Structure formats: C-alpha cells, structure tokens
Chain A
Amino acid sequence: MVFNSLPFAVFFLILFAVYFIAPLKLRRYVLLLASVVFYLFSGLENLPFILLALLAAYAASGKMGALYDKMELEIKKGKLEGAEKAELTRTYKKRCKRYLVPAIIFIVGMLVLSKAGTLIARAVGDYAENGGDIIRVIVPLGISYYTFSLVGYLLDVYWRKMKRVSDLSLLALGVFWFPQILQGPISKYSQLIPQLEKPARFDWDRICSGLQLMLWGYFKKLVIADRLSVFVTTMFAADKDLSKTPAYILAAGLFLGAMQLYADFSACMDIASGVSEIFGIKLPRNFEQPFFSKSVAEFWRRWHVTLGTWFKDYVYLPISTSPRLIHIMAFVKKKINARVGRAVGTAIPLFIVWLLTGMWHGTGWNYVLWGLYYGTIITLTTIFAPEIKKLNKALRINTETQAWRVFQSVRTVILFCVGRLITMPATLKDSGAALSSLVSARQWFLAKGSFLSYGLDGAGLAIALSGVALMLLVDKLQVSGSVREKLRQQNVVFRYLIYWAAIFVIIFLGIYGPGYERVQFTYMNY
C-alpha cells in the first residue's frame, strides 16, 4: 500500500476516526494494529522477517538491559567508584557483547541475504535467459530501514545511550510504525519510542499542520515527481543508446532526474511526517534543502539526513575513534608525516562509509562506483581543504559573496547529477555511453533532438518545470526560515486559498488514476 493509492486514503481515514474515538489508553494499540495491517498489505511472506528481527532485538536488548540493571545494583550495593567501577562496567559490557553481536549478525544477515539473494537470482536468471524467475528472492518491505533502526537501537542500549524497551508492543510499534516503514526516515528509537508511548489527544492545529505537510508532499509526488518520471524513465530506458542522445538533452535529463528523485523522496518524507504528526509523533527531518548546499559533503548532510546520521553515529564515529585506526594513523605519522597520518585517518572511515552507502543504495557494481565517487570527492575536499582555501585566496576569490554561493550550489548540483549518471542508466556501459555524449562537442552543438520525444508534451514539460521552480523557491525560502511558520502567520483567507489551490492543482494536473501507471516511491525498495 503506497501513499499515492486509494487503499491508503481509505486506510488513513479509518485509522484517523478509530484512533481519535478510541480511549487514550488503547490508542497506542490502535496504531500498532494499523501498522501491522499496513505492513501485511505488502504480503504475508514479509512478516516473518520483520518479526524475527523484532524478537531478536527485543531479546538481546532485554538481556543487555537486565545485565546493566544488575551491574547498577552491584555498583550501588558495593558503592563502587573509579577503577573498580570501570572494571565492573567493562566486564558487563563484555557480557552484553555476547548478546549484541549475534543479534546484529542475525538482523543484518537477513538484510545482506536479501540483497545478495537478489544479485544471485539476477545472475542465475541472466545465465538461464529467463529473467530471474528461477530463484525467487523475498526482499521484505522496508528491510533496510527497520534493520538500521534496530541495529542503532541495540548499539544505543549497548552503549547505554538509551534504556532497553521492556514493552514488546512498544518496540513493535517502533519497528512497524507505518509512515516510516516504506522509505524511512531511519528513526532513532531513543527519540521515537517516548513519543509512541504517549497517546496523542485531538489537537486541531497539530492535525492541520500534518495535513498541510501531506498536501505539499502529494503536490511534489503527483504533480512534479511522477510527471518527471515519465521523461526520465523514457530517456534512460534500457534499450536507449545514450551516446546518440544530444548532450544538451542528456544534461537536462540528468538535472530533471535529480529533481525527480528529490521531489519523489522528499514528498514521501513529507507525507510520512505529516501522517505521523497527525498522530502526535514528530519524525526526524530527512531533507534540509540539499540543492542549496555549498559542497558535496554538506549536500549529503542535508540529503537523506537520517541515513547520513546513522552512518555517522554507528559507522564513521566508531571507526574514526577506534584504537586500531589511531594506531594506523600513528604508524603513518611516524613513517611519513603528521599530515598524511591525518589524511589516512580521514580517508579510511569516509571510504568505508561511502562504500557501505553505495551498497545500501543498490546491489550492482555501479553502486559501488557511485559510493567510491562520493568517497573520493569528500575525502579529497576534506584533506585538501587548506590548499583549496589558499588557492581561493591566491585567485582573490571573495568566498563571502552571493555569486560565489550560487556558484557553489550550482557546482554541487552538477556533481550530484554526475553521480546520478553512474546509477540512472541501466548499466555501466550505458553510463559510459552517456558520458561520451556529454563530452562530445558534436553532441552538444550539431546533434538534433527534441525535448518532446521523451513521453511529455509541451504542456507536461511546462507543468513539470513550473513545479520544479516552485519546489526550489519554497526550499530557498525555507533556508531563511520555516515556510510553514510564515504561512501560519498569514490570515486564514490567504492560507485557505493556498491550500485550495494546491488541492485543485493536484486534482487537475496530478498524475494518477487509470491510464497512468502508478509510480512507486523511488526509495521504497531499499
């Protein structure tokens, strides 16, 4: 059940009514039941995986929690302090590790198996020229998202950043929470669970605010993303020889592809956050106007924020602060110099993070390359930041001007589009073909082509481009302060006019209903 479907509309309306009619005490269970029903719409075969992951995390966190409780008791009883307390803590941590490691291996193992299984099935299918029908691999809905959340939860309990969740139904609600199971965000249970525990009362303003966010999400999805999707999928279809596509059309396709992805993904986040807000739960923000970033590193801090935060908290920081890496840095420093030692200390965790990020996004070699692409850019810009600063100074570039900021944003967008070039075409060979067109002067200046040959007519393209302009304008306004807050300060007539306009634009210009193939949210199958 996707957000842009009729069943979801019916599901949401029923849940809304039942939730606010139900007694406060029962509301949490209403949400749990609704979330399980929502998940079951993806197929019964997915259920065992998520249940097993939930039970494994619950059991391991329970054991760890019990051990830490026992430890606290011993510390209290023995009034331990200093070295004794530290020794006892180390001992208990070690014991906890016995539960932590198998649980993580089990939960992550299911994710790895489903990803690897897809690769194997594809390889077998290709070998047998049978389209991969020989082996059927189940990729449970939202497996990447709940796996990451549960691993984060286990590590937080292990590191004693949060207490274990002793109520299974509460943890289950966190895992199954339907607005975020499709595409995230990857919530930290330390922030999510306390909100889920507390039932929400009917609050007009909060509900309106949630609906407002949903409306903006539907506008981006139905008017912009699904319309651009027609253009982009036609251009990058598997049978297209991209080396023959005029470079200016290809460049426009890459830009629109980036906009389509942003509109699609951020739309889903807005709908998910809007729905959650209606039920009194604030999900973490996943996008912070990424296309106005000054560098690629900043871009990735503002794009899919929760994934970046997860990798930072649970991969980057543990690696960069690990004794092993510090030893390596010290060794390099001793053998070469301190600068190179620091560079190694920067490069190793960054490359590991970006390799894993690439593999999280997809199972092909192009995703590995994609991860290396960003790993290289971010590592180099981090290591050579002093040189870049010196160069700017030498060239007398005033980095404080508006023009420079615009240049930085455009440069970031171009680098992002180049990154998309690696994953958008069907194969790496196609990516190469597209690149050959983009670097060919003939393809820029002599090749003939039409923007209207990619599934959208003039009106469709105009609507899509207007939508993109509006989306970027709202983002630009958001940079200087909350647009929703500004809207809230307007008088009711103006606000309602905006809402009505958005509703009727979706009704008349949206891509939905029979005759249109419903486009799934892009990040749904991770």
Chain B
Amino acid sequence: MSNRWKNVVKAAVFCLPLILYAFIFIKYEPYNYWGLRDDLGDTVSAVTVIRRALRSDCKNIVIGASKMANLDTDDLIKMGLTDEKWTNLSFNGASVSEECELLRYIIDSGKDVKKVTILTSFWSALVTSGVDRVKTAIDEIALDPAGYVFSPNSHVEAFNAFLNTNLAKKTSGSTETYKDNVTRIWTNAMESNKYAVSWENKLIEVVKYCKERNIEISIGALPLRQEVFEFIRKYGREDELHFYKEVLSEVTEFYDMEYEESAWTDSTEFIDSMHFKGYDQLTDENFSEEHPVLMDVLSVAFKKEGQEVKRLNHSLQMEEVFKINNLNLPADGESHFYSAPINLEPDSIYLVSIKGNVGDIDAKAKYMQFYVQHYSDYYNSFTELSKSDDNMTFWVYSDIDDNYWAVIQTGDLITDDYNFVIKYQSKSGDEEDAAKAVDLQIEELGIYRYSGFDSQREAEKTERMGLDDILDSVFDHGGKKAEFLKEFFEDESILSAENIQLPGDTGELQQWFDTIRLDPNSTYLVACQGDLTEAKISSETFYIDCFTPYYSQHYNSIEEYAASVDSVSFVPSRLPGTDDVYWMVFDTGDLTFDTFAFRIIYQGTQGLNIDWLDVYKLS
C-alpha cells in the first residue's frame, strides 16, 4: 500500500469515533434541531418548537403546553380530522405568557399564519412560571445552529439521552401512586397559587393581535381528570374555573372541554391528572374506540365537521359597585374631569364596562384616562393598585354587547374609599389627532365586582394583616410619630435614628448608614418623616440598600435579598395630614449574613432632612 493510501486509512480510523459521535449527536440531540429525530422522548422544549416553526410554513398553528406537546400533527391528516397541515408549537411546561410570546414571534417573523388554536387549561391559570424560555431559546440557541453545535450543554444532553435510551436499566417508574401524585401536585397548585387576571389579559392581548392581522384564532380548555374537580371544589376555586372561560369566551371562539359533567373526565384516559394517553397510537385503526377522550379533544380542537361542541353557559356572579349614565365630555380641546366616589375592596376582580361613543379606547388612551383617585393628592390607575406581576389592562371590544370592557384586579389597598375619575382631553398639538376628535359620549359605564371568589377571600382576610392595619398602628392622623402597638411588632424598633441631614446643594452623593440585624424570610417596615419633597420625585434619587460590612466583598441591595421586590420603594402615607410621612415594607429572603448596614444614599439639589426614621420587624 502506498503512503498516500496508508495516510487515508489512518485518517479514516482516526475520524471513525468522531463520525460515530456525530451520528449519535444528531440522533440524540436534545431539541430535534434539524427535524431528524424520529422520537422526541418525553420532553419537547421551546427550542424544539421554534425550530419546528422555522421549518414549517405555520399556516395553521396549534399551541399549548405539555398536554399537547406530543401530538404529531401529520397524523391528524391520516386520521381524517383535517385536510390542512398544522404546526404544533406546544412545548412542555409552557406558560400562557410563553405561548403568547412564541405566537407573536412566529407572526412577527413573517410567516403567513391563517389560523391559530390555543389549547389551555385551568392548570395554566394557576401555575405560572417567571422563566421566559422562549426568549432564551430565541436569543441563544434556536437561531444559531453553530452556537448550538458548539455548546457543551448540547453535547452533554445528547449523551445523556443516548445513555438513557440505550444503556439505562428500565425501571418500573415512580413508586408514587396515581392518587398520591394528583394529591401532591394539585394540593400544591391550590395552596401556593392565587388566581391572577394577568394571564387572561395576555390571552386577550394575543387574540387582539391576531384579529388585527386577520388571523382566525380560537381557544380551547382541555379536559382534566375527574378527581381534579374534587380538589377544585375542596378549595372553593370553582368560580375561578368558570370565570376565565367566561371572560375568554367574550373575546373569541372558545371551546370548553374542562367541566366536570363531561364524559371527558374519564380517569382511564389519562396518564396522570391531566395528560392524555394514546399519542403514540393516533393512526391505529381502533384509536377512537381505545382513546375516546383524546379523539374527542382532537376533533374539537381541529373542528371536524359534525362534532358537537359544548359551549360554556355559566352566569357570573357580578355585583354592581358603580354606574354612570349619559356622560358627555365635549371635544373642545380643554381638559375635562368627571369624578364620583367609589368603594373598592382589596384582592378583588372587577369588570369595567363602557357603552357609548368612545371610539377606539386604546387609540385614545393618551387623551382619555380612567383613574381611581384617593383623596385629593394622589392619582392611581387601577393597575397601580394591582399586586399582579404585570399591570396590563386591556380594553376589549365585545361583539356581543357592542361595548368595551376590561378586567382588573386589585391588590393590597390602603383604603377602600376612592374617587372614580375620567379625564378627557380631545386635542393635542397634532393636527391629525385634532381632526379626529369627537365628543366623549358614554351612555353607560358600569363597574362590577366579581363576587364569586368571596368565600375564599374572606378566609384569607382573617389570616392577613392588611396595610391599613399596619398604617393605623404606625401613624396617627395628625401626622406625628405614633406609639407602635406591641401586638404588631415583635420588639421595639430594631433601628431608630433622628435628624438625618444629607446636604444636596453640592450635587455629590451623600450617604448615611447604621448597622442593622435582619432575619431571613421576614418582613420589615421602614417609616420616616421629613422633607423628602425632591427625593420622592424619583425612586432613583432616594433609595435604601443594605450591605454587610463584614466578609462580603460587594454591596447588596435589599432587593437582592428580598423574596418580594415589589414593595421596596418608599411611598407617601396618603393619610390626611401626613404629607411628610413615608413608609415602605420589604421582605428578606434567604440571607447569607445577619448583620448589615442600612444605608441611605442621596443625590439631589435640595437637602434631605429626615426628622426620624424607624425600622420595625413585623410579626
């Protein structure tokens, strides 16, 4: 053999394991990146479906979470359920927020989307995750094949998949019984999660987004196993189950398969509390007999003709709390206000409905605003009162009633007495806008409180110390420092300071600090009185953070330690006569240390003068 051939053989032998490995990688790579894997296994990720979308025309999209993730839409044509090609963008653990984000990404990427079916369930309403896997997938992997191949994680995952498929001993599975499994996950879901309207609003938003682009969109609620409804009843959450369907069915075509009385709750058709059996047998001859629930679900979702769909017809328990009739605010360029008292309750869901000549509310948002106002010094939009993660409120045009409505949710309210205000100004300097200006003619505006959740809320109220209670205990109405009531606080103040003066005229950063001991997973209240006029304008100019003067090498703000980050900025007390009193509540998370420095860092043009500042641990 010549040297040349010897070298070729040597190179081939050397490359053999590498080529073999390349095949293993392609066969077992975690995301089916190039669509070459036959079997995706149990996990379908955001990257997998984004890559699938990129390979497909995405004319018809079905999107959901793990309940639909294993559906091979090519089988639907073979089953005769549809003549059209559908692209399944459902992935394991998808939150509603991620589903909406993915859908918008696909639409925005220029795909000619015609039809969308979103398949969701009450589980998605309850259990949401703050993780945004769609964004991560888009930013880091899905659009970067080279980055994907040249990522150690991809190789480790592919190798694990290879080992699991070929070498791992087949185990008999978890020893946890089905009933225990249902009990564990649903008990946790019920006890750990509050109902939030924000997820519905995300769906409403995406429905609007599709309709504006002439994309046909429908939403379906998928069946749950019989036993789950017992849990929902046990925890008094039936009203929530009905509420979201009622709201969404107002927005678009809605198919309900998630009700207790249906035949779809048959326990034998589920592998657990909500995932169906039979995805691997879709094209079997006797599939519809063996898996009637999945067959029905697919029939409804993909609208096989002749399939009867049960529509929700549950009447909501709405209590009218406010009503206006025949309000006319002229389009004369001046700013007009309407104001009337309104009582709002914390942790409640309200529906605001408007009928009349209001045009497109979203387009007019910059000229027409709806407020709830507390006393005379501070305006709050509804969303500002809300404790929900994101403060979205969407005005939805209802075809049925020819009116606009929005669903809002209040969080911890500092009082129940508000004024409802409408502010309307028809013109701006923009000539085009001025030409479109019309009188605001509200025939009827109603605010309705959804009372279906009351029994549950009442139970919670007794356990929770409201901010009203805290404030009443901290401040008297004269605006002076009050004696703190012992029952609300474990001890005397853990930090107390008087006459903190930080000059502002130099424009330099000024700092004051004192040591403070904090316990993990605790709630603290910081109260102070003084001239914070300038500081309160922006939270950036006045903030408090903690750092440990010992051992740690860097500064840590309270936020870094806080389990909850939505309450760390100071707010004025808003009580009569307490213009110069401010407070904030912050929670600590798992702390590494217990000794910190409590700092005030201030940079401003006016001096910061704090008469007194106290920090209390709330019991």
Cα A508 to Cα B158 in complex, Å, equals 11
In Å, the complex CA distance between A151 and B10 comes to 44
- Asked if B3 is an interface residue, CB under 8 A from chain A, the answer is yes
A257 to chain B, nearest CB (A): 16
Q: Please tell me if the beta carbons of B10 and A514 are within 8 angstroms of each other in the complex.
A: no
CB pair A496 B152 closer than 8 Å: no
Decide if B605 is an interface residue (CB 8 Å cutoff).
no
Chain-B contact segment, one of A53-61, A234-242, A328-336, A342-350: A234-242
**Which residues of chain A have C-beta atoms less than 8 A from B553's C-beta?**
239-242, 244-245
Which A residues are in CB contact (< 8 Å) with B555? Answer: 239
Question: In the complex, A6 Cα to B147 Cα: how many Å?
Answer: 9
Question: Quick check: B550 and A244 within 8 Å, CB to CB?
Answer: yes
User: How far, in angstroms, from A240 to B547 measured CA to CA in the complex?
Assistant: 13
Confirm or deny: B554 has a beta carbon within 8 angstroms of a beta carbon on chain A: yes
Determine if B551 and A514 form an interchain contact, defined as CB atoms under 8 angstroms apart: no
Of A449, A499, A509, which contacts B152 at CB under 8 A? A509
B386 to chain A, nearest CB (A): 35
B482: CB under 8 A from chain A?
A: no
Contact residue range for chain A? 20 to 34
Let me know if A508 and B156 touch, CB within 8 A: yes
Q: Contact partner of B3 among A204, A448, A515, CB < 8 A? A: A204
- With A204-B7, A514-B144 already in contact, the answer to whether A447 and B151 are too (CB < 8 A) is no
Assuming the A-B contacts A204-B3, A508-B155, A514-B148, are A496 and B550 also in contact, with contact meaning beta carbons closer than 8 angstroms in the complex?
Answer: no
Please report the total number of B residues contacting A with Cβ < 8 Å: 28
B551/A449 in contact, CB under 8 A: yes
Residues of A within 8 A of B65 (CB): none
B150-168 CB contacts (< 8 Å) to partner A: 150-156, 159
Q: Is the CB of A514 within 8 A of B151?
A: yes
Contact check, B152 vs A508: say whether CB atoms are below 8 A apart: yes
What is the CA–CA distance of A500 and B148 in the complex, to the nearest angstrom?
22
Residues of chain A contacted by B550 (CB below 8 angstroms)? 244
Q: Which residues of chain B have a CB within 8 Å of any CB of chain A? A: 3, 7, 10, 13-14, 17-18, 21, 140-141, 144, 146-148, 150-156, 159, 550-555
A445 to chain B, nearest CB (A): 14
Task: Kindly list chain A residues whose C-beta atoms are within 8 Å of the C-beta of B3.
Answer: 204
Task: Chain B residues near A511: list those with CB within 8 A.
Answer: 152
Cβ–Cβ < 8 Å partners of B552 in chain A: 244
Residues of B within 8 A of A512 (CB): 150-152
Structural contact, B13 and A496, CB atoms closer than 8 A: yes
Question: Which of chain B's residues have a CB closer than 8 A to the CB of A515?
Answer: 140, 151, 153
**Chain A residue contacts of B156, Cβ below 8 A:** 508
What 1/0 flags go to A397-437 for Cβ under 8 Å of B? 00000000000000000000000000000000000000000
Taking the complex as formed, is A513 at the interface, i.e. its CB lies under 8 A from any CB of chain B? yes
Return the chain B residue nearest A448 by Cβ: B551
Q: How many Å lie between the Cα of A396 and that of B505 in the bound state?
A: 71
Collect the chain A residues with CB atoms within 8 Å of residue B140's CB. Answer: 514-515
Which of these, B14, B153, B159, contacts A499 with CB under 8 Å? B14
With contact pairs A245-B553, A448-B551 given, residues A510 and B7 touching in the complex (Cβ less than 8 Å): no
Q: Which one of A6, A241, A448 lies within 8 Å of B150 (CB-CB)?
A: A6
Q: In the complex, which residues of chain A have a beta carbon less than 8 angstroms from the beta carbon of B153?
A: 513, 515
**Which residues of B are found within 8 Å of A245, using beta-carbon distances?**
553
A-B contact pairs, 19 of them (CB 8 A): A6-B146, A239-B554, A239-B555, A241-B554, A449-B551, A496-B13, A507-B21, A508-B152, A508-B155, A510-B152, A511-B152, A512-B150, A512-B152, A513-B153, A514-B140, A514-B144, A514-B147, A515-B151, A515-B153
How many angstroms from the CA of A503 to the CA of B153 in the assembled complex?
A: 15
Closest to A450 in B: B592
Q: Chain B: which residue is nearest A5 at the CB level?
A: B150
Q: B146: which A residues are within 8 A, CB to CB? A: 6
B17 touches A500 (CB 8 A): yes
Which residues of A lie under 8 Å from residue B152 when comparing CB positions? 507-513
- Nearest chain A CB to B3 CB, angstrom units: 7
Q: Within the complex, what minimum Cβ distance (angstroms) separates A228 from chain B? A: 16
B interface footprint on A454-498 (CB within 8 Å = 1, 0 otherwise):
000000000000000000000000000000000000001000100
Q: Which of A497-526 contact B (CB under 8 A)?
A: 499-500, 503-504, 507-515
What residues on B are CB-neighbors of A509 within 8 Å?
152
**Chain A contacts with B in 1-20, Cβ cutoff 8 A:** 6
Nearest-CB residue, chain A, relative to B147 = A514
Q: Which 8 A-B pairs have the closest CB atoms?
A: A513-B151, A514-B147, A240-B553, A514-B140, A513-B150, A204-B7, A6-B146, A241-B553
